[in-house]
Amino acid sequence: MSTRHEVTLIPGDGIGPSITDATVRLLEAAGAPLTWDRQIAGMTAVKELGDPLPEATLDSIKRTRLALKGPLETPVGKGFRSINVALRKEFDLFANLRPAKTVLTGGRFDNVDLVIVRENTEGLYVGIENYVKVGADPHAVAQSVAVVSRTGAERVIRYAFEYAVKHGRKRVTVVHKANILKYSQGLFLETGRAVAAEYAGRVESDDKIVDACAMELVMRPERFDMIVTTNLFGDILSDLTSGLVGGLGLTPGANIGYETGIFEAVHGTAPDIAGKGVANPTAVMLAACQLLVHIEHDALATRIRTAIEATLRERKTVTRDIGGTAGTDEYTDAVIARLK
Ligand code: NAD
C-alpha cells in the first residue's frame, strides 16, 4: 500500500484545470499514494509551445504509463492531429472502458450497472477512406473500410473477459452485426465465441446483434452486465448508456493498453461555463477511481466513489447541471467531508 505511483496530470482546457484541481484535492484528502507530473496538451499547449501534444507530455506518459487527463480542445485547422487519436495510436490503447452505473436514483432507470468495452484502434475508425469520381463529380461515391483483425479482436475481447473475472462480473455480451457484415463483424463474433469458450464456467457469455442490443438497452438496461464490441458500435452504445444514467457529466472513461492507461471524463471542455467555478468535477473524479482500480487500489477507489455517490444522492450540495446550486469547490468540500 505504501508504493507511490507517479501519474502524468494533464489539466486540459476550458473547465479542465478546475475539475482536475478538485480531483487532486479529493485524492490527496483520501490519502491516495499518487504523485503528479503536470504536463500540458490541447489549446494550452498550442498557446505555449505551438504543439497540441508536446514531446515532453508524451515522454512523461511513456515514463509513468498512467495519465489523468482533463478535456482538451483539439484545434480546428490543417496541420493539427486529433490529440485523442494520437494518444491512442502512440500508446496502443486498444480498450476503451466505459462504465455506466445509476447514481442519481429516481430517474428513468434505477438499477443500471454495466460496463462497455469498446475496441479502440480498428473497425471503421482506421481512416481508410476514399472518393470515387463518376463523370464530372469527384465526390460521387465515398468508401470507408472497416478493418477487424483476429489479433485486434482477440486482445480486446480477452481484456473484457479478464476484467469480468477480476471484478466479479457475471456475463459478457459480444455485440456485432455479423448477419450483414459477414467478414469483418463475422470475424469479431467468431473470435468472441472462441474466447468465451475458454472462460466457460467462470464467466457467462452470449452475443447480440447491435440493433437488437440498442433496443434492449433502452428498455431493460439492467439485464446487461458487460458488453464488448467494435469501435463504431462501442462509440455509439457507450454514449447511449451514459444517457441512461444521467448524462456525460457523470461518466468517466479509460483508455487501456498493455502498458499504459489514460483516464478521463467523457465530456468536453464546456467553454460556456469555463472560468465560472460551476463545473461538475464528478466525471474526472470517477476517472481517477478507475485509475486507482487499474493500479489495484480497489478499496481506496470504493471509498472515494462511496463519498461521491452519497453526496450526489443527498442532492444538497451538488452542481447546477444536476439541479443544485453549489460551485465546483463547494461540491468537492462536501465529497471530502463524506470520506470515511
Ligand atoms: P462539452 O461536453 O464540452 O459540453 C456540452 C454541454 O455540457 C455544455 O453545455 C457544457 O456546459 C456541459 N458540460 C460538460 N461537462 C460539464 C461538467 N463537467 N459540468 C457541467 N456542465 C458540463 O461538449 P462540446 O461543447 O461539444 O465540446 C467543447 C470542446 O470540448 C470542443 O473543443 C471539443 O473538441 C472538446 N471535447 C474534448 C473531449 C476530450 O478531450 N475527451 C471530449 C469531448 C469534447
Q: What is the DSSP letter of 75?
A: P
Q: Does the pTM of the predicted model rise above 0.75?
A: yes
| All cell numbers assigned to 298 | 480497489
Q: Which of 118, 267, 328 to mutate to test the pocket of ligand 1 (most atoms within 8 A of CB)?
A: 267
**How many Cα neighbours within 13 Å face the side chain of 266?**
23
Q: Is the pLDDT of residue 2 over 70?
A: no
- CATH C-level class of 95-245: alpha beta
| All cell numbers assigned to 305 | 466513489
50-54, 64-68, 176-180: which has the minimum mean pLDDT? 50-54
Q: What b/e sequence results for 309-326 when a residue is b if at least 16 CB atoms lie within 10 Å of its CB, and e otherwise?
A: bebbeeeebbbebbebeb
Q: Is the CB of 235 under 6 A from ligand 1?
A: no
What's residue 79's pLDDT? 64
pLDDT tens readout for residues 152-208: 999 999 999 999 999 999 999 999 999 999 999 999 999 999 999 999 999 999 999
Number of helices (H), then strands (E), belonging to the chain: the values are: 11, 12
d(CA 284, CA 287): 5
For residue 333, the surrounding DSSP H or E stretch is helix 328-337
Q: Whose CA is nearest to atom 38 of ligand 1?
A: 268
Q: Is the CB of 122 under 6 A from ligand 1?
A: no
The mean of the pLDDT values for the chain is 95
Closest CA to 287 of 253, 317, 321, 332: 253
What's residue 254's pLDDT? 97
What's residue 3's pLDDT? 87
Question: Three-state SS for 99?
Answer: strand
Closest ligand 1 atom to 83 CA: 40
What's residue 106's pLDDT? 77
Q: Is the CB of 268 under 6 A from ligand 1?
A: yes
Q: What is the DSSP letter of 91?
A: T
Q: What is the 267 CA–ligand 1 centroid distance (Å)? A: 5
125 is an active site residue: yes
Q: What is the 7 CA–ligand 1 centroid distance (Å)? A: 24
What's residue 272's pLDDT? 96
Which one of 89, 211, 276, 316 is the catalytic residue?
Answer: 211
Q: What is the 251 CA–ligand 1 centroid distance (Å)? A: 12
Q: What is the 268 CA–ligand 1 centroid distance (Å)? A: 3
Question: Three-state SS for 185?
Answer: helix
pLDDT tens readout for residues 91-144: 999 999 999 999 887 778 889 999 999 999 999 988 899 999 999 999 999 999
Q: Where are the beta strands (DSSP E) in 87-235?
A: 95-101, 113-119, 129-134, 137-144, 171-176, 204-209, 226-229
What's residue 77's pLDDT? 66
pLDDT tens readout for residues 203-228: 999 999 999 999 999 999 999 999 99
What's residue 249's pLDDT? 80
d(CA 188, CA 180): 13
* Strand-strand pairing, 171-176 and 226-229: parallel
Q: What is the 184 CA–ligand 1 centroid distance (Å)? A: 33
211 is an active site residue: yes
Q: Is the CB of 287 under 6 A from ligand 1?
A: no
| CATH number belonging to the domain at 1-91+259-340, selected among 3.40.50.300, 3.40.718.10, 3.30.360.10, 3.20.20.140 | 3.40.718.10
* Average of per-residue pLDDT across 297-304: 96
Q: Which of 15, 248, 251, 269 to mutate to test the pocket of ligand 1 (most atoms within 8 A of CB)?
A: 269
Q: What is the 271 CA–ligand 1 centroid distance (Å)? A: 7
Q: Whose CA is nearest to atom 14 of ligand 1?
A: 270
What's residue 40's pLDDT? 97
Q: Is the CB of 279 under 6 A from ligand 1?
A: yes
d(CA 88, CA 85): 5
The domain ranges of the chain are 1-91+259-340, 95-245
Q: What is the 228 CA–ligand 1 centroid distance (Å)? A: 26
What's residue 246's pLDDT? 80
Judge whether 1-91+259-340 and 95-245 match in fold. Answer: yes
The count of other CB atoms within 10 Å of the CB of residue 99 is: 22
Question: Three-state SS for 129?
Answer: strand
Q: What is the DSSP letter of 326?
A: B
* Strand-strand pairing, 252-256 and 261-265: antiparallel
37 is an active site residue: no
62 is an active site residue: no
| All cell numbers assigned to 297 | 487500489
Which one of 37, 125, 199, 208 is the catalytic residue?
Answer: 125
pLDDT tens readout for residues 238-286: 999 999 998 778 899 999 999 999 999 999 999 999 999 999 999 999 9
